[in-house]
Structure formats: C-alpha cells, structure tokens
Amino acid sequence: MKKRTRAAGILLTLVLAVTGIAGCGDTKKDEGNAKGAGEEAQGTGGQSGSEGGGEDAFSDGYGGKGRFLETELTLPQEADRVLAAGKLSDGSISVVGYNSNSMQYYLMNTKDLGDSWDSRAVQGMDVFYVSSAAIAPDGSAVLMDPYGEELVQVSPDGTATAGSLVLPGTEGENKNQVQQAGYTKDGTLIVLDIGGVLYRADVTQGTLEEVTKNMPEAVYYFGMAGNDIVSVMGSGVYRVDAGSGELKKDETLQQVTDSSQEPISGENSYPCLFTAGAEEDSTVYVNHEGLFFHKMGGSVNEQLINGDLVSLGDSSLGFIQALTVDDSTYLVLGSDSLGVPRMYRYMYDAQASAVPQKQLKVYALEDSVALQQAISYFQKENPDVFVKKIIGLTDEDGITAEDALRTLSTDIMAGNGPDVLILDGIPVESYVEKGILADIRDLVEEVEGEDGLFENIKEAYIRDGSIYEMPSRFGFSVVEGEAEAVEAKNSLEAFLEYAKGKKSSNADENVLVPMSASGLLHELYYADSAGWRKEDGSLEEEKLEAYLKAAKDYFDLDTYAEEEYNNSVENYTFRFGGMGGAASTVANFRLILMGCGGIGTISSFRDVQQIYATEAQIGGAYDIFGEADNGSFVPYVSVGIAAQSAENQEAREFVKGLLGKECQSASMDGFPVNRAAYQEHQKNQKEYAIGTSRLDGTSAGVDVKVLTEEQANTLLKQLESLKRPVLTDRVIQELIVEEGIKYLNGDGTQKEVADRIMQKVKLYLSE
C-alpha cells in the first residue's frame, strides 16, 4: 500500500473552541435556473418590507415562480443523537439514532418523507461507543467504534450481529481509525480510515480491500452517488468507481472545494455533503450556501436552493447526510450548535415566488453565528420575506469600524438604511440622540411576558422610560485562581497588587496566565470599561490611565518562553463569529501551568463547568470581577429597530424572534437573556473530558461534570447581580487597543498614551 500523508493530522490535545470551518463554495451558478432561489440581494434601495421591484430586485429572475420550500421534520423522541441516514430501495428513508438516557441505538424508518416514523430498538448489541454508521439500500445498517474492533451488523428488523474489521496499522504508536462509512447502491460497504484511504469492507469476514491504491492523495471525506464515491481531496472533488477504483475527473465538480476543506471537528459532521442526483451521473451537494446540482461533464453547478432563504444558511448547523428523493424533493440531516438533531425536507413548489416578495434589511458591523441563526429562524417562519444581511466589516474590504459606521450613517440619512440594527460596536447613545432608533420596550416586554427575561439586563437599557436596544445574549468577567486572587477582585489595581506581591516572594514562578498584548487589552477592557464613560460621552482619563497601568504591570510581570506566548490568550471572548469564554481558556492554562491566576469572560454553562472541574483538581475559586453589587456584563448581539421602520411588522417580528426562546435556545454563544432559553441551556449541559500536554511533557486532564444544584444556583445569582454593560463603541475600543499595544511594547509613557487616546476619542466624538 502506498504511503499517504494527510494535509492535517488529528489533534489529540486540548481544543479550546471550535465553531466550524467555512463550507465548500460554488464556482458557478445557473442564473437561468427556473428553480433557483435567487442570488443574494444587491444594492440598498427599495422600501423596506414592501413588495420590492425596480432597482432593488433580489435577482435577475425576480417575479418568477417556483422555489424549494423548507419543512423541519420531527424526528422520533428516541433520537437525541443521529449518526446516519439512507434512502432504501423501496423509496423509504431510514435513520440511525441513539438515546443517551437509555443508552440504546435505534433504526428509524419513514415511508412518508418524515411525517411519521417507525422506530425499532437495536437488539442483541453490547453497548459501546459508535463513531461511524451507515445504512444499506436493503434497510440493514452497520455500527462501529473508532477502531472497527467493536462492530455490529443490524438487520432491517433491528437484530444485531457482531463483527469486526482489521484496519491496517499506521506508523508509530497511533492506532488506525475508521473515519467514515457509507454504502454503494449495490450494497457494498465503503470505509475511510484516518490516513485518507478508502476500502471496500466485508464485515462478515472482517476484511478490507483498498479502493484508492492508485491515488496519490489522501481522501478527506466522501459521499455516495450510486456506485461511485464522491471523494474530497486536497486538489478537489472526484467521483471514484467503488468497484474498479477508477478516478472520474470533472473540472467543474473538482473545483467545488479547495485544499482547506478538512472535515469539521465533531462527530459525523462535514463542511459539504455529497449524494447522487435524480439523473444518471449527477451529483447533489449541500453547504451553507445552499443545495447544488451537477451533471458529470457539465460546465455549471446549478444552485437549486439558496441557503440564505432556509436553515442551510445557519453556519452553526453541522451537516451529517443529504438524500435525493427525486428531482423535486431533498432531505438534509444535521445537528445544531447544541448537538440537537435536525432534519429538513425541501420540496419544490411551482406556485411559490422564486424570490420572496418582501425584503427586510438587517445590519451588523460584524457577522456572527447567532445573527445567522436568528435570520434562519425568521426565514423559516416567514418564507415570504427575504432577509438581506448587510455586514459593515468583512475580511475582504480592509476598512475600519469608523469607515463602516460613516457609510452606515450616510445610508440612514439618505433613507436607504437598514430596518433592524445589530448594535454591537455601534455608538448607541449618539443614535438615540439623533432619533435614529425606535423605542422597542413594548416588544421586549411582550417577550418578557411570554418567556421571562433577566430583569437586571433589561433595566440596564431603560432610558427615560424607553428601550432602544436590547442584548440577546451576554457574558461577564471573572477572576480565577487561589483564594487570595479572588479576594482581590474589586479592581484591576487590587488584582495586580496581589499578583506583584505573590511574585515578590516567588520570583521564579509565573503567577499570571499568559496573554498576548491584544488579548490582554481586550480582556481587561471587558472587565473594567463599564464605568469609563462620562455623561458627555467622553472618557474618564484617570480610569483610562489606571487600565493602561494594570495592563502594563500584567504584561511585564512574568517571563514566558516564546512558544508559550504562541498559545497565549488572544481575545477569546469574541472570535470565529461567536462569543467565546476566555475564562475557560484561563482555566485551561491554570491546569497546564498548575496554578496561576487570571481574568477572563464567562459566556456559557460550559465555561463554568470547566472552571469548577479545574478547581476540583488543582484548587482555587472564581468570582465576578468588580465591586460588589455593581458587576458589569458584556452584551452580545444587541438589537434595535431603525426609527423609519418602527411600524415595519417584519422588523418587529425579527426582534421578537431574536429575543424569543426558540432562537435563543439554539446557540451556546453567551448566556441567553431569555429566562426560558436559559433554563434550556441549564437542562442541556453535557459532561465531557479535556486532555492536554504540559510543556514538560506530562499530560493533564479533567472530567467536566454537570453543575450541581448549588453551583447552578450560585451562577444564577451572579447573573442576576450584573448591573452595567461594558463600553461597546467599537471605534473607541479599537483606538484604545491599538494605542495600548504600542504602550505595552514600549512606545510612550502611560500619560502620553492616555493623552493620545483621549485626543483621538475627542476627535471621533466631534464628527
């Protein structure tokens, strides 16, 4: 067997946070496709919420008929985890599911495209962890552990028969593993190992025959298209004949993905799904951009479903399986950010408008998973409305936050502004003074009456009896470490005095968690900035100087090797389009370094679970940073409605949906402000294990448990005690961090840097 090297190995060390990888991209779209869902809306003109048309038509085909409509299917209650789905020879659909409470696997079958299900528990199977599963055309299935050593064949009636596979070993001490499995149309089982090698498998005999022996590249992942294996490799996508191993190169199909398309970290989840199309030699693939059809030898990848109009556009949705029922019906199986299985049916409706007749414009400085989830939820509930997402800052344009806000102001003044604004980073006080934002207190209190809200968070946003913005999620900064560190929680000055005191008696010991200059300045900003702003909008220079001094003292106190700083905290609170938990990262470093202390932001139950797990192993505690009964919080995905759209019903429904239970229950980014959603998060806590390596080569790990009732009550009291939002103006934050990095690296005195910041902030506020 020819040796192959994968483009990226499997990381068996500590994973701080994973939110997914960008999906595969379409290289071409058939603009004349009558079934297409339309291109992304162009321009900013048109009357919001109106019938549209004219210059603001959503696509060249605006006004046409025919579109795939989405229905979310209700999976059997037995399945709180799904592993595979398959279309059987008789046209029915089967799914392999697992129930974590009963520790039971199930075969679930539907003959009416998911409207009803018949579930059969797998019988005669010893319980083991199933990492891969596949369903054959005859309704049988195979379930296997990561190594193929524990394996069962399951007959259509649910009876299990034990089997095994003997995977060729890999070099070194690492055992080879099964990465993925699938059946061909003729019932041949195909297995992919972690070395990127495809095999035909006979589980009865326990034998494997390599399919890819003549291929020079490793396979990242695959989908089945009849008797062909649609294989994703570093150089693109190829169909491989499962019997002969013949490589079927197609230039258009090959360009569907690029060399970065490794599988997403997570069970059975992939950035693209591939399956057979309804026509001979055709392929259907699904990603967050939508669902596409390709005919072998053709020059286009035809977009049948626009992901922006359905749940496929939710970038937190993990893809597990796609199935073609016929040329007008498709099924997609996945799991949401909480691991809850989701199954969607897409059926073509010839009478539906090709593009929704109404348009709602939603603006955010930066894109986020939580925003996209809200859009997908709204789109599902309102299929007649197209949500045009406008992002002010992207990685492609190179503009600053100040540039983006200037453009936004120009559009608003010209009457071409958005209907809904995500106010993270936007100067809300200025917008309120200028009459740009509408009062949404009635909407907020309507949601509060239905689900309950964190009253203290709501109260923080009442201005003269009105509410102009409301965060949908939030976090808060904490101090972690030994008891003395936590006792010094009231101010940055007190915490650094503690750290310097400990350092003076332990000169050779690092006492603080390592942070990069940018990461440190961001985390201390989230911890301390709530009280910086004066009534006129300017900053308290004395407090700014105290912040800079604390950052400098922190940055200079310890000496870490360069390789340690390469893995240091780099603004983990906001990254990858989501709100993370720097506090859990601090806990990880405390575990690795056997102690130390630090300040970071908590944003989920998972963060708190991890902190308690670390404390249980090495000792220590945590508490809210700041003065008692005056704690601050970090708002996330704060929403408002433009004054010109105050009566726009779609805008009002979008805000209610964003603040509502269902939408807020679907994301782990920040604590939901919705109390009913918060209870769902508490109920859905998961136990997991963390393992990592210390610099001395020893290993470290903790078993993370569900919070006890006492721990959960402590957390709730902490959340209910938070009073003030931190300073969220993105331009001011950028100015402070930019100058702060220079200061930490020796450019100027504390006073000089503070003066530079104050002058720049004054100039910005005067514009």
Q: What is the pLDDT of residues 414-435, one digit of tens each?
A: 999 999 999 999 999 999 999 9
**276 exposure class (CB count in 10 Å sphere: 0-12, 13-18, 19+):** buried
Average pLDDT, stretch 614-618? 89
pLDDT in tens, 627-649: 766 789 999 999 999 999 999 99
Q: CA-CA distances (angstroms) from residue 286 to 136, 283, 291, 472, 628?
A: 21, 10, 4, 30, 51
Average pLDDT, stretch 661-678? 91
Question: For position 372, what pLDDT does the model report?
Answer: 82
Most confident of 46-50, 344-348, 570-574: 344-348
**209-222: b or e for each residue (b if 16 or more CB lie within 10 Å)?**
ebbbeebebbbbbb
Question: For position 568, what pLDDT does the model report?
Answer: 54
Most confident of 45-54, 368-377, 556-565: 368-377
**620 exposure class (CB count in 10 Å sphere: 0-12, 13-18, 19+):** buried
For residue 173, pLDDT over 90 is answered with no
Backbone dihedral angles phi then psi of residue 646, each to the nearest 5 degrees:
-60, -30
Q: At what angle do helices 517-528 and 541-557 cross, to 10 degrees?
A: 140
Shortest CA distance to 470 belongs to which of 440, 437, 438, 429? Answer: 440
Q: What is the CA radius of gyration of the chain?
A: 27
What angle is formed at CA 558 by the lines to CA 557 and CA 561, rounded to 5 degrees? 150
- What is the distance between the alpha carbons of residues 445 and 716, in angstroms, rounded to a whole number? 21
Question: For position 60, what pLDDT does the model report?
Answer: 37
Which range (3-12, 96-105, 182-191, 486-495) has the least confidence? 3-12
Q: Cβ contacts of residue 567 below 8 Å, gap of 6+?
A: 514
**651-675: b or e for each residue (b if 16 or more CB lie within 10 Å)?**
bbbbbbbbbbbebbbbbbbbbbbbb
Question: For position 55, what pLDDT does the model report?
Answer: 35
Question: For position 666, what pLDDT does the model report?
Answer: 81
Question: For position 62, what pLDDT does the model report?
Answer: 44
Question: For position 1, what pLDDT does the model report?
Answer: 31
Q: Cβ contacts of residue 597 below 8 Å, gap of 6+?
A: 479, 480, 481, 482, 485, 499, 511, 512, 513, 590, 620
Q: CA-CA distances (angstroms) from residue 167 to 157, 164, 172, 199, 200?
A: 28, 9, 15, 10, 12
Average pLDDT, stretch 328-355? 88
Question: For position 174, what pLDDT does the model report?
Answer: 67
Of residues 313 and 153, more confidently modeled: 153
Average pLDDT, stretch 493-504? 93
- Helix ranges (H only) for 624-729 are 649-659, 661-665, 675-683, 709-720
DSSP string, 46-115: S-TTS---GGG-SSTTTT-EEEEEEEEE---TT-SEEEEEEE-TTS-EEEEEEETTTTEEEEEEESSTTS
Query: How much of the chain exceeds pLDDT 90, in percent?
Result: 58
Of residues 420 and 248, more confidently modeled: 420
pLDDT in tens, 731-748: 999 999 999 999 999 999
Token output for 209:
């025959």
For the chain, the farthest-separated pair of C-alpha atoms sits apart, in whole angstroms, at 79
Average pLDDT, stretch 188-214? 90
For residue 595, pLDDT over 70 is answered with yes
What angle is formed at CA 624 by the lines to CA 506 and CA 338, rounded to 5 degrees? 110
pLDDT in tens, 284-310: 999 989 999 999 999 999 999 998 888
Of residues 213 and 442, more confidently modeled: 442
Question: For position 571, what pLDDT does the model report?
Answer: 57
Question: For position 565, what pLDDT does the model report?
Answer: 47
Of residues 314 and 208, more confidently modeled: 208
pLDDT-derived band at 189 (thresholds 50, 70, 90) equals very high
DSSP string, 219-237: EEEEEEETTEEEEEETTEE
Q: CA-CA distances (angstroms) from residue 710 to 618, 625, 714, 717?
A: 20, 20, 6, 11
Question: For position 237, what pLDDT does the model report?
Answer: 92
Question: For position 628, what pLDDT does the model report?
Answer: 62
Question: For position 569, what pLDDT does the model report?
Answer: 55
